[in-house]
Amino acid sequence: MKKTLMLKVNPQKPEIQKLQIAAEFIKKGGLVAFPTETVYGLGADALNPKAVLALFKAKKRPLDNPPIVHVENTRDVYRLAKTVPSKAEGLMEKFWPGPLTLVLERSELVPDVTVAGLDTIAVRMPKHNVALALINQSGCPIAAPSANLAGKPSPTTAEHVFDDLNGRIDAILDGGPTCIGVESTVLDLSVKPPQILRPGGTSFEALKEFLGDVRLHPLVAAERELAVAEARSPGMRHKHYAPNAKLILVEGSLENVVEKVKELIESCRVNGSKVGVLATDETASRYKADVVKSLGSRFNLAIIAQNLFSLLREFDAEGVDVIVAEGVPAEGLGLAVMNRLRRASGYNIVKVK
Ligand code: TXA
Ligand code: MG
C-alpha cells in the first residue's frame, strides 16, 4: 500500500508549491489524480510506458482500453498525432480548452501501452486551471482516464477518488467538485464523416452545427446491448458506470414513467429489497421508497449531469439493493446522461408510452 497524499488546491489559482509536489510524482513515473471540468482524472506521464502500465494497474483497468491524453497546448497535438486534419484544427480552435476529445492517427512518439496498441490516439485539452498547470509543471502530456476503479461511476469529487484509490496512487489534487459531471465527448476524426464514440460534455447539437456532417456511433444511442464487434471505442465494450445496486431505467413520457416507477418500487419491495429511486425535482415527492434522491430539475440538464455520478455513489453508500431511475430527455447534456444510465443499468430498460 502506498501513502496517498491529499493536496487541497485553489481551483482557480492553484498554489505552485502543491503543483510542484504533484508534478514531481508525474516526472518520476508516479500517479496523481486531478480535477478537470468534467470528472477527476488519474494522471501519468503519457510518454512513459511504465507509468502508464501502473495507471492501468491502479484502476484495475483492462489493458485494451486506452486512456485519453491531456495536453495544455495545441503544439503537443502535432507531436502526438501523425497528421492533424483541418477539421481537427477547427475543432480545437472552437472547443478547446473544453470537454471534447479528438481521436486522431497516432505518431511514433506515443508508446504502445498508452494507446493499447491502436493506431489512433485520443487527445483533449481540459478547461481547468489545476489540470492545465499540472501538465505544464510536469513538462509532458498526461494520460488520464477517469480516476475511479474500473467499472465504477466516474469521480466528481476528491473524496470519490479517495474512496476508490486510496493506497493505490501517489497523490490527489483536491480542487473541489467538478463542474460538468459527465466525461468529455469522444469524437473520432479518423473516419468520415466524424463519429461520436461517447456523448459527453460537448453536445451532439453543437458539433453538428459546427461540422455539418457528424454521426452518432450506433452504440451511443443504443437502448440494448449491441454486438461487441461493432464497438469502435474499446471503452464501449466494458461494463461501466455501474453502482453495486442493480439499476432499472424507466423511459417514456413523464406521467407514465412515474406510474411505472411506483409499480416497480412495489414489486421490488415484495422481494424484500431496499429500494432507491433516482427521481427529479418535479417528481421526487410522488414516490414512497426506502431512499428517494433527486437529480435536479428536468428543465436543467446541466445540473442533472453534474449530480448523476455522485448520487449513484450515494445509493451504494446507503446499501440500496435496487435503484429505479427515471429517464430524462436525450438532448444536449441529456444524451450523455441517458447513455450513462443505460449502461449503468446493463440495458435493463423498461419502456412506457
Ligand atoms: O472527461 C474525460 O474525458 C475524463 C477526464 C479525466 O478528462 N477522462 C475519461 O477518460 O473519461 P476514460 O479513460 O475514462 O475514457 C476514455 C474513453 C474510453 O471510452 C476509451 O475507450 C476511449 O476514450 N478511447 C481512448 N482512446 C481511444 C482511441 N484511440 N480510439 C477510440 N476510443 C478511445
Ligand atoms: Mg472512465
Q: CA 140 to CA 285: how far, in whole Å? A: 50
Mean pLDDT across 6-12: 98
Cβ contact 334:328 at 8 Å: yes
Whether residue 193 has a cis bond before it, omega within 30° of 0? yes
Cβ contact 40:206 at 8 Å: no
* pLDDT of 240 strictly over 80: no
Q: Is 125 in the pocket of ligand 1 (CB under 6 A)?
A: no
Mean pLDDT across 146-171: 97
Q: CA 174 to CA 10: how far, in whole Å? A: 8
Amino acid 220: pLDDT: 85
Amino acid 81: pLDDT: 98
* pLDDT of 190 strictly over 90: yes
Q: CA Rg, the chain, in Å?
A: 20
Q: Is 219 in the pocket of ligand 1 (CB under 6 A)?
A: no
Amino acid 229: pLDDT: 53
Whether residue 243 has a cis bond before it, omega within 30° of 0? no
Measured in Å, residue 143 CA sits from the centre of ligand 2 at 12
Model confidence pLDDT, tens digit, residues 112-121? 999 999 999 9
Q: Is 122 in the pocket of ligand 1 (CB under 6 A)?
A: yes
Among 130, 233, 343, residue to substitute to test ligand 1 (most atoms within 8 Å of Cβ): 233
Amino acid 2: pLDDT: 87
Query: Which among 160, 157, 163 is positioned nearest to 177, based on CA atoms?
Result: 157
Strand partners of residue 294: 279
Measured in Å, residue 314 CA sits from the centre of ligand 2 at 18
Mean pLDDT across 274-279: 98
**Closest ligand relative to 154 C-alpha:** 2
Among 70, 71, 101, 217, residue to substitute to test ligand 1 (most atoms within 8 Å of Cβ): 101
Residue identified by cell 445540473 is 303
Share of the chain above pLDDT 90, in %: 91
Q: CA 201 to CA 101: how far, in whole Å? A: 10
- Ligand 1 atom closest to the CA of 182, numbered from 1: 1
Beta strands in 67-184 (DSSP E): 69-70, 100-105, 120-124, 142-143, 171-174
Give me the chain's average pLDDT, please.
95
Extract the C-alpha cell encoding 131. 489540470
Extract the C-alpha cell encoding 235. 471503452
Amino acid 221: pLDDT: 73
Mean pLDDT across 160-179: 98
Q: Is 235 in the pocket of ligand 1 (CB under 6 A)?
A: yes
Among 37, 119, 186, 232, residue to substitute to test ligand 1 (most atoms within 8 Å of Cβ): 186
Amino acid 237: pLDDT: 63
Amino acid 243: pLDDT: 84
Amino acid 238: pLDDT: 63
Amino acid 230: pLDDT: 59
Cβ contact 167:97 at 8 Å: no
* pLDDT of 234 strictly over 80: no
* pLDDT of 224 strictly over 90: no
Residue identified by cell 473516419 is 191
Extract the C-alpha cell encoding 257. 414513467
Extract the C-alpha cell encoding 67. 486512456
How many other CB atoms are found less than 10 A from the CB of residue 98? 19
Extract the C-alpha cell encoding 241. 458506470
- Ligand 1 atom closest to the CA of 236, numbered from 1: 19
Mean pLDDT across 189-213: 97
Alpha helices by DSSP H, listed for the chain, are 16-27, 49-59, 75-80, 86-95, 129-138, 158-165, 204-211, 254-270, 301-317, 333-344
Amino acid 219: pLDDT: 84
Residue identified by cell 461540422 is 211
**Closest ligand relative to 145 C-alpha:** 1
Q: Is 68 in the pocket of ligand 1 (CB under 6 A)?
A: yes
- Using pLDDT thresholds of 50, 70 and 90, give the confidence band for residue 30: very high
Closest C-alpha residue for ligand 1 atom 27: 122
- Ligand 1 atom closest to the CA of 70, numbered from 1: 7
Model confidence pLDDT, tens digit, residues 123-149? 999 999 999 999 999 999 999 999 999
DSSP state of 108: T
Q: CA 64 to CA 116: how far, in whole Å? A: 5
Give CA separation, 111 vs 66, 67, 221, 276, 317, in Å: 11, 12, 32, 44, 38
Q: Supply angle C-alpha 186, 191, 196, rounded to 5.
A: 25
